[in-house]
Amino acid sequence: MSPTSDSLSPASRRRVLAAGFATVLSGLAGCSSAPTSGDDGTDDETARTGGETGTSDGPADASVAVERVAEGFVSPVDFYAPAGTDRRFVVDQPGAIYEVTADGARDAPYFDVRDRVVDLNGYDERGLLGVAPHPEFAENGRLFVRYSAPRRQGTPNNYSHTFVLSEFTVDPEARTASVDDERTLLEIPQPQSNHNAGAVGFGPDGYLYVATGDGGGGGDSGTGHVDDWYDAVSGGNGQDVTENLLGSILRIDVDSEGDGRPYGIPEDNPLVGRDGLDEQYAWGFRNPWRFSFDVRGSDDWDLYVADVGQNEYEEVSIVENGGNYGWNVREATHCFRANDCPTTTPDGDPLVDPVIEYPHSGDGASGIAVVGGYVVRGDSLPELTGAYLFADWRTGGRLFAADPGAETTPWPVAEVPFAGDAKPGSFLTAFGRDGDDLYVLTTGVRGITKNSGELFRLVAP
């Protein structure tokens, strides 16, 4: 979060801004339906469900309805609406972007890099994973795209694929974008096929933020995990800041270049001039699939990062410059593979607690893979204004709301039920925002198998 010039602390500002939501706190905890139990075999994300309560009080009588906006996607994983335009786009994991028109039509792809994406089959965490239009896209047509490519030069033969972050320059008014003008900004060897994260987005500071997973494998094991300082787990990229860029939130300046890079480094990135990789902004993450910014002013904003857990807990953190968010020492606030674990690094830097955590078993908020959303602003969902809305991938499209105005952490969380007959698909993959309007992207099946993907707008019941 950027510093601000006013006299309120960040926590105080959040309490004031979330007051409308906090006033409706009451006992919704325990009202949610229990998710289906079982193990679907995807990897360590596939833990049991059903059991102990995992929430505190939440929003009383708050609910949402959904309106289907578009359908027919394979696996929609991102949504964007470029500033200065009236256009909306859905990112489909196999490698295409579709424009969604006012009448919900979904024609041929607007943007297509399926021939550059690694072959996908069944359940897969690779693909076209995130897209961010430049803040001045309407004038310059710059589009930043994150995808999984087959192994490129510099990626070891025993690694899965190459992480690619590219800039494409397209005609901002074209109905079909050319993909000929690709400029690769960043390539990262990816050891295993899972834990790829994928979110990219511009912050209010004008810099591009990029989420990277820890390299894959349950429990920080297998190919590609470097040595770190925590002896209870044999290696792990989340606690390393010198060998690679995995397990981190990166921040780069795409409007400049320097030191042989096709991008610049913000001078206040925490490891500039220190032992570490300059692109790093924060670290200690396992699989930060989605993030979002809650912007209240040019100097007043928070970065929410949802990090998918191992076998027991999911977490969401407010991420700040230089923060260490604990993986693989801790899973949320709980020690990982140890009865006791440190709360600081050997250098004395704190491991920062999440603001939200929930278990893989529970009568309330529960699931196996957190999907980060947004803080509700404006008038689109008046019952939830000021709440942080999020979900879990495999809980039948259930929504949860957390109270940023809480006096303590973790924040209170409760399910927000759907009103009306329309219901989203069984697997909720991502959220989207267009002004004050919020969207959810879902699929009806697990994996890259059918055209069951849909886009829904969240509306007041």
Residue 134 CA to its chain's centroid (Å): 18
Query: Phi-psi bin for 434: left (phi > 0), alpha (psi -120 to 50), beta?
Result: beta
Using a 10 angstrom Cβ sphere, with 0-12 exposed, 13-18 middle and 19 or more buried, the burial of residue 228 is buried
pLDDT in tens, the chain (461 residues): 333 333 334 444 444 344 444 444 343 333 322 222 233 334 443 332 223 333 444 455 689 999 999 999 999 999 999 999 999 999 999 999 999 987 776 778 999 999 999 999 889 999 999 999 999 999 999 999 999 999 999 999 999 999 999 999 999 999 999 999 999 999 999 999 999 999 999 999 999 999 999 999 888 778 999 999 998 888 889 999 999 999 999 999 999 999 999 999 999 999 999 999 999 999 999 999 999 999 988 789 999 999 999 999 999 999 999 999 999 999 999 999 999 999 999 999 999 999 999 999 877 788 999 999 999 999 999 999 999 999 999 766 689 999 999 999 999 999 999 998 888 889 999 999 999 999 999 999 888 888 999 999 999 99
* Predicted structure pTM score: 0.89
| Beta strand 413-416 pairing with 399-402 | antiparallel
Neighbour order of strands in the sheet with 356-359: 290-297, 300-307, 313-318, 356-359
Tokens encoding 5? 């010039």
Distance CA 256, CA 142 (A): 14
Domains (range + CATH), the chain: 10-252+280-459 (2.120.10.30)
Quick check: 454 and 129 in contact, CB under 8 A?
no
Is-contact 285 214, C-beta < 8 A?
A: yes
- The Cα–Cα gap between 80 and 87 comes to 9
Could you check whether the bond before residue 328 is cis, i.e. omega within 30 degrees of 0?
yes
| Cβ pair 25, 60 in contact under 8 A | yes
Please count the other Cβ atoms lying within 10 Å of the Cβ belonging to residue 7: 7
Contact assessment for residue 294 and residue 222, using Cβ atoms and an 8 Å cutoff = no
